[in-house]
Each structure stands twice: as structure tokens, then as C-alpha cells.
């Protein structure tokens, strides 16, 4: 059995209710290694909530989550990260007073399982620092390595958010609107990075994105959420053309041009 036969990530009947409101409604979906799936839907459709369920920030009301066939529904976020689920946040979520380099180094250190070393000086792990520098270079933040996130521009914070995800080297990358609020000239850097990750082969990428041109150019597949439910799933061209999507979500954008 090859690894590609087993989905990298699978949800079965995933559901969460907030009081009476069903934010994610019985979503069953498989994500195969080596594919980039765009998750689209109007504001409040439940995309971020879906990510929160998968990476463990929220507990599902019902349903199961499997990583490479193993049930991880009851695991804490940290344990899921160790299983290869990596997550970048829609609302920037960094260590505000530590330097950009230290932010990334912490992600590298977690990946290297070096956190429980108590009696070594952290600078003696130069390999971790070098790795972090490398990742910062990839997101074009090397010159800002000693600046803390709270002093960085919004665009740079977004890039750092992506850098932390890359540094985790997950099997499943979850990007939540990575380019939102970025200036036009910063967007290509991030999109190129996602393209790179995709071309690296076995990575599974989930991308929540509102910009349809980005979705068209990157996605192998589109999943549409609407009111928490999965309403369409398939090849980008077909999904975009489908009436349900045109109506539910894309109508607006099509009308806007």
C-alpha cells in the first residue's frame, strides 16, 4: 500500500454547534497528499472554524478527524502539530515581544523536539538558528530578523505567520487567507511560497482564500462551504461554473468583475 492511497487528512461528519448555531455542519472530506485544495465560501461560512476543528483549537460536537488513517479527534493541538498538522492563522497570532527570528526558531525547535533540553544554552543549538534564518530568508524577512512582530507592518506579520508554518515542516499545511490585507507587491512572495510547497510533492495544502484568481491559479480542487455545510467539491473549473456556487458565493464576485 502506498502512502498516497491513504488520505493525509480526513474528516467524517465533522460538526460543531455554538448554542443553536451550527458553524460546521456534517463535513466529510478527504485530502490527498500532493494536492492543493482551496476552501472557499462567503464570510461566516465556517472555513476558519473548520480549521480550528482540524488543528484542535476547538472541540467538535460530533464527527471524527483522521490523519493518515489514525483517529486524532481527542488529541490536544500540540499533539496534532506533532502528527504533522500545521496551521497559519487568519488573525495574526505570533509572539509579539520576541524577535522575528526567535518566533521562527521556536517553530523550528518544536519540529526538532528540542524543547525539553533544560541544561544546554539555547544558542548552542546553532543548527536551529541556522534553520530559522533559512526560513526567514524564504519569506524575505531576513533584514527584519531582530524586530519583534508588534513593530512589524501588517504585511510582514502575515509573512512571519507563513514562516512559522513552513518552519514546522508539517505534512498538512493549512493557510487561512494568507494574503489578506497585504499590499499588492507582497502578495506574489507568499503565493510563490505556497506554489513551492505544492511542487515539493507530498505536501497536502489546504488554502482558505477569497481571491478567485489566486484560487484558479493554485488549486487542484475546490471545496465550497456555505452555512457550515459542504455544498460543492471538485475540479476548479467545474466548481466555479456550478450554479450552486455561482449563486451562493461567486455570483457577487462575478458581478463585480
Partner 1 sequence: MSRSPAPALTVDRDRASGSVLTGLLSSDLPRSKVLTVVLLAILLMLATTPFVFSGSQPLSTAAKICVFIVLVASYDLLLGYTGIVSFAHTMFFGIGGYGIAIASERLGATWTSVAVGLGTALCLSALLAVAIGLLSLRVRAIFFSMITLAVASAMAVLASQLSTITGGEDGLSFQLPYELRPAFRLLSEPVFGVAVNGRLIAYYILFFATLLTFLLLLRIVNSPFGRVLQAIRENEFRAEALGYRVVAYRTAASVLSALAATMAGALMALWLRYNGPDTTLSFSIMIDILLMVVIGGMGTMYGSVIGAALFVLAQSYLQVLMDAASKALAGVPVLPDLVHPDRWLLWLGALFVISVYAFPGGIVGRLRQAEQ
Ligand X SMILES: Nc1ncnc2c1ncn2[C@@H]1O[C@H](COP(=O)(O)OP(=O)(O)OP(=O)(O)O)[C@@H](O)[C@H]1O
Q: How far is the CB of 221 from Mg ion (least distance, A)?
A: 19
11, 15, 55, 179: residue in contact with partner 1 (rule CB under 8 A): 55
Going by C-alpha positions, the residue among 42, 77, 73 that lies closest to residue 174 is 77
Applying CB under 5 A, the residues found at the interface with Mg ion are 47-48, 90
Measured from the CB atom, the residue of 108 and 223 that comes closer to ligand X is 223
Is residue 20 a contact residue for partner 1 (CB under 8 A)? no
Contact characters 12-41, ligand X, x per CB under 6 A: ------x----x-----------------x
Dihedral class, residue 77 (left if φ above 0, else alpha if ψ from -120 to 50, else beta): alpha
What is the spatial distance between Cα 151 and Cα 232, in angstroms, rounded to a whole number? Answer: 41
Widest CA span in the chain: 62
Is residue 48 a contact residue for ligand X (CB under 6 A)? yes
Q: How far is the CB of 167 from partner 1 (least distance, A)?
A: 9
What are 244's three cell numbers?
A: 450552486
98 binds, among Mg ion, partner 1, ligand X, none (CB under 5 to 8 A by kind): partner 1
What are 185's three cell numbers?
A: 507587491
Going by C-alpha positions, the residue among 144, 157, 167 that lies closest to residue 94 is 157
Q: How far is the CB of 47 from ligand X (least distance, A)?
A: 3
Q: How far is the CB of 209 from ligand X (least distance, A)?
A: 10
What is the spatial distance between Cα 173 and Cα 181, in angstroms, rounded to a whole number? Answer: 20
> What H or E segment, with its residue span, contains residue 224?
strand 221-226
Contact characters 89-128, partner 1, x per CB under 8 A: x---xxxxxxx-xx--xxx-xxx--xxxxxxxxxx-xx-x
Exposure string over 12-31, b if 16+ CB within 10 A, otherwise e: bebbbeeeeebbbbebebeb
| Residue numbers 59-118 binding ligand X by CB under 6 A | 90
Measured from the CB atom, the residue of 91 and 184 that comes closer to Mg ion is 91
252 binds, among ligand X, partner 1, Mg ion, none (CB under 5 to 8 A by kind): none
CA separation, residue 126 to residues 131, 138, 170, 206, 245 (Å): 8, 18, 22, 32, 50
Q: Which parts of this chain interact with partner 1 (CB under 8 A)?
A: 55, 57, 76-79, 81-82, 87, 89, 93-99, 101-102, 105-107, 109-111, 114-123, 125-126, 128-129, 146, 148, 164, 168
Amino acid at each position: 500500500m502506498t502512502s498516497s492511497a491513504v488520505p493525509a487528512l480526513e474528516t467524517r461528519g465533522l460538526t460543531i454547534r455554538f448554542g443553536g448555531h451550527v458553524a460546521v455542519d456534517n463535513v466529510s472530506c478527504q485530502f490527498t497528499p500532493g494536492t492543493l485544495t482551496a476552501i472557499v465560501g462567503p464570510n461566516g461560512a465556517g472555513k476558519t472554524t473548520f480549521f480550528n476543528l482540524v488543528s484542535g483549537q476547538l472541540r467538535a460536537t460530533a464527527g471524527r478527524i483522521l490523519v493518515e488513517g489514525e483517529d486524532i479527534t481527542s488529541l490536544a493541538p500540540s499533539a496534532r502539530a506533532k502528527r504533522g498538522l500545521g496551521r497559519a492563522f487568519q488573525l495574526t497570532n505570533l509572539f509579539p515581544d520576541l524577535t522575528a527570528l526567535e518566533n521562527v526558531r521556536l517553530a523550528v525547535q518544536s519540529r526538532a523536539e528540542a524543547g525539553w533540553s533544560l541544561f544546554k544554552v539555547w544558542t548552542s543549538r546553532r543548527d536551529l538558528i541556522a534553520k530559522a534564518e533559512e526560513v526567514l530568508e524564504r519569506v524575505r524577512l531576513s533584514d527584519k530578523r531582530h524586530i519583534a512582530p508588534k513593530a512589524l507592518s501588517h504585511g510582514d506579520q502575515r509573512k512571519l505567520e507563513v514562516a512559522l508554518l513552513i518552519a514546522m515542516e508539517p505534512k498538512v499545511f493549512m493557510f487561512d487567507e494568507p494574503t489578506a490585507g497585504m499590499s499588492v507587491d507582497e502578495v506574489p512572495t507568499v503565493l510563490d511560497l505556497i506554489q513551492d510547497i505544492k511542487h515539493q510533492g507530498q505536501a497536502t495544502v489546504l488554502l482558505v482564500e477569497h481571491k478567485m484568481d489566486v484560487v484558479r491559479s493554485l488549486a487542484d480542487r475546490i471545496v465550497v462551504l456555505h452555512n457550515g455545510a459542504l455544498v460543492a467539491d471538485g475540479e476548479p473549473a467545474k466548481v466555479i461554473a456550478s450554479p450552486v456556487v455561482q449563486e451562493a458565493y461567486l455570483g457577487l464576485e462575478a458581478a463585480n468583475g
